[in-house]
Every structure is written in structure tokens, then in C-alpha cells.
């Protein structure tokens, strides 16, 4: 699937509309606010920025994996058990239920890279363990140029497969993380 940008670039000094002022507001938000889209330049200086991701990698077949057990670390074994026959070029969304302390192992990122996953997301608050004893999840995920959509909700409403994921990140140059609207379309 190919797509085209159809939005115009921002115009400096826009004209008045029918003699009335045009109003605009400055927004000051953190890039990791709400639901957001994150690319490899979050970890690697020469990684892809959000505006570098082609539209065809933002409209994908979706798969939802549920991990509602007591395991704190989601590993390649979980992925293989639930999504072993996944097609390449897909989006993988991981529903962790109400336990927002779960994180991902490095071999989970390697599993997604080996299967050529194009996008991953979850409703967890912690993709890795943090800066103290990190698993290295982001290193392998972003080496494979697999972006993340974070801060997802309503994953419990999705089937395991046969749905489409559409990620709509703001197109801002030279930034690794931007707010994003994510839509799942089921049959």
C-alpha cells in the first residue's frame, strides 16, 4: 500500500479571514504525553525520526497478544506461544491487562525483528526496566527500526488477529517522539 501526504506546510503570516483575525495557540507538551509514537532516534543519534517513517508502515495488519499472567517480563517465549505464525510487516499490540509493571526482554525485541514486525505497542507503562539494569529491549527493537506506539487503551476490545492498525503520528521533523492517534479497525 502506498500513501501520499495531502497536508500543506504551515504558512507564515496567514491572511485575515473576511476581515477577522485568525486565532492560533502555542501548545507546550512533552513528546511522551498520552498516546505517542517513538522511533529509533530516541536511542540512536543517527536513528530514524518520526517524519522518516513512510505512510505504508503506519497502516498495517494487526495482531493482539494478551499477557495477563504473573510474569513481569514478557519474553520471546510469550510471543512464540501466542503469535508464532504471525505474518511479516504487521503491527503487534500487547495487552497486559491491569498490571502496568510488566516490561519486555531483549529476546522479545529480537523475536519481533526476526519476523519483520513493522510496529509494536502496548498498554504497559514500562517497555524496559528503566536505566538501572535495563534489559536492552530498546537497543534491539530500534536497531531493527521497529517504532513503538505507547499509552494505548482498549486493547481488551481487540480480537487476536484480523484487524487493521492505523497510526497517525504528528509529522514533525527531527524529533523521535510525537503524540499519535492510533485506530484499530475490526471486521
Neighbouring C-beta atoms of residue 4, cutoff 10 Å: 5
pLDDT number for residue 15: 66
Per-residue b or e along 21-33, where b marks 16 or more CB atoms closer than 10 Å to that residue's CB: eeeeeeeeeebee
Give the pLDDT confidence score for residue 98 in this predicted structure: 85
Q: Which of these, 42, 37, 7, lies nearest to 180 by C-alpha position? A: 37
Instruction: State phi, psi for 85 to the nearest 5 degrees.
Output: -105, 30
Nearest to 90 by CA among 178, 160, 153: 160
| C-alpha of 172 from chain center | 16
Give all domains of the chain, ordered by start, each with its CATH number: 36-186 (3.50.30.50)
Question: 59-66 and 163-169 as β-strands: parallel, antiparallel, unpaired?
Answer: antiparallel
Check: CB of residue 61 under 8 Å from CB of residue 89. Answer: yes
Q: Looking at the DSSP assignment, which residues form a beta bridge with residue 93?
A: 64, 121
Which cell is 52 given?
A: 522518516
95 grid coordinates: 495487552
User: What pLDDT tens digit does each residue of the chain (187 aa) get?
Assistant: 566 565 656 566 666 778 777 767 777 888 888 999 999 999 999 999 999 999 999 999 999 999 988 889 999 999 999 999 999 999 999 999 988 789 999 999 999 999 999 999 999 988 988 878 888 999 999 999 999 999 999 999 999 999 999 999 999 889 999 999 999 999 7
Q: Is 177 exposed, middle or buried (0-12, 13-18, 19+ CB in 10 A)?
A: buried
Select from 84, 67, 71 the least CA-distant residue to 123. 67
Determine the Cα–Cα distance for residues 109 and 136; give it in Å rounded to an integer: 9
Residue 1, pLDDT score: 57
Amino acid at each position: 500500500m502506498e500513501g501520499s501526504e495531502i497536508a500543506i506546510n504551515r504558512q507564515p503570516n496567514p491572511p485575515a479571514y473576511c476581515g477577522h483575525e485568525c486565532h492560533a495557540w502555542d501548545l507546550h507538551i512533552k513528546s511522551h504525553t498520552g498516546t505517542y509514537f517513538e522511533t529509533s532516534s530516541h536511542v540512536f543519534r543517527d536513528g530514524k525520526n518520526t517524519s522518516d517513517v513512510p505512510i505504508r508502515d503506519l497502516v498495517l495488519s494487526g495482531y493482539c497478544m494478551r499477557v495477563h499472567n504473573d510474569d513481569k517480563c514478557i519474553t520471546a517465549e510469550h510471543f512464540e506461544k501466542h503469535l508464532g505464525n504471525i505474518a511479516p510487516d504487521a503491527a503487534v499490540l500487547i495487552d497486559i491487562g491491569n498490571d502496568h509493571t510488566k516490561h519486555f526482554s531483549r529476546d522479545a525485541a529480537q523475536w519481533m525483528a526476526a519476523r519483520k514486525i513493522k510496529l509494536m505497542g502496548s498498554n504497559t507503562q514500562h517497555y524496559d526496566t528503566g536505566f538501572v539494569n535495563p534489559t536492552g529491549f530498546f537497543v534491539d527493537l530500534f536497531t531493527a527500526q521497529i517504532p513503538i506506539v505507547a499509552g494505548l487503551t482498549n486493547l481488551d476490545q481487540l480480537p487476536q488477529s484480523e484487524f487493521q492498525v492505523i497510526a497517525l503520528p504528528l509529522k514533525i521533523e527531527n524529533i523521535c517522539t510525537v503524540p499519535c492517534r492510533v485506530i484499530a479497525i475490526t471486521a
